[in-house]
Structure 1
Amino acid sequence: MSSLTFYTTAGCHLCENAASLLSQLKTNRAVNIVEVDIAIDEDLVERYGTRIPVVRRNDNLRELGWPFTLEQLESFVQHEDIFL
């Protein structure tokens, strides 16, 4: 099972769009998604504040930043060698 971290925050409409895609992804494949609100950590705000939504693979720590499609998200989860 793939494991992802989804960096987001309240009031982020792009994050809502990404969350919808992640929900669709979960219907197509076994994936564990941990949602992290960057507002809880100053370092996360500094790192992701202007980049969210961001999805990180927990096995290789690669990140997929917005904008992305469902197809790009599926490819990101499936392939180890993708850089987006």
Structure 2
Amino acid sequence: MIKLQLFTTAGCHLCELAEQTIHNAGLSPDYQLELVEIGDNDQLVEQYGIRIPVLRSGKGHELNWPFDEDAILAFLNMDARV
């Protein structure tokens, strides 16, 4: 299982769009998406507050918004090779 994290917060319409974009990318069942609520953690708010939504791979690489399905697939392909 390959874990992906999407840093998000309640009421963020871009975060909702990013989550839908990730689901539409047609990732294999090997990928599991975890939504990380930054509002519950001051350190995460400081780190991601103006950057969300941000997709983080299991290796810790990050893809900043805006992204589309092709960018997600390219990001994960690159991450798999690194």
Which interval holds the TM-score relative to the shorter structure?
A: 0.7 to 0.9
Letter in 1 for 2:76: V
TM-score normalised by the chain length of structure 2: 0.87
Residue of structure 2 in register with 1:13 after alignment: 13
Equivalences for residues 43-62 of structure 1 within 5 A: 43-58=43-58, 60-62=59-61
Question: How many corresponding residue pairs?
Answer: 80
Secondary structure, aligned partner of 1:79: helix
Q: What is the alpha-carbon distance in structure 2 between the residues aligned to residue 19 and residue 28 of structure 1?
A: 12
Q: What is the alpha-carbon distance in structure 1 between the residues aligned to residue 69 and residue 76 of structure 2?
A: 11
Letter in 2 for 1:14: L
Letter in 1 for 2:71: Q
TM-score normalised by the chain length of structure 1: 0.85
Residue of structure 1 in register with 2:75 after alignment: 76
Give ranges in structure 2 of 5+ residues lacking alignment.
none
- Deviation for aligned residue 1:22: 1.4
Residue of structure 2 in register with 1:35 after alignment: 35
Compute the RMSD of aligned alpha carbons. Answer: 1.5
Deviations 1:21-55 (A, max 9, x none): 11113x44221111110001000000000000000
Residue of structure 2 in register with 1:65 after alignment: 64
Identical columns (%): 38
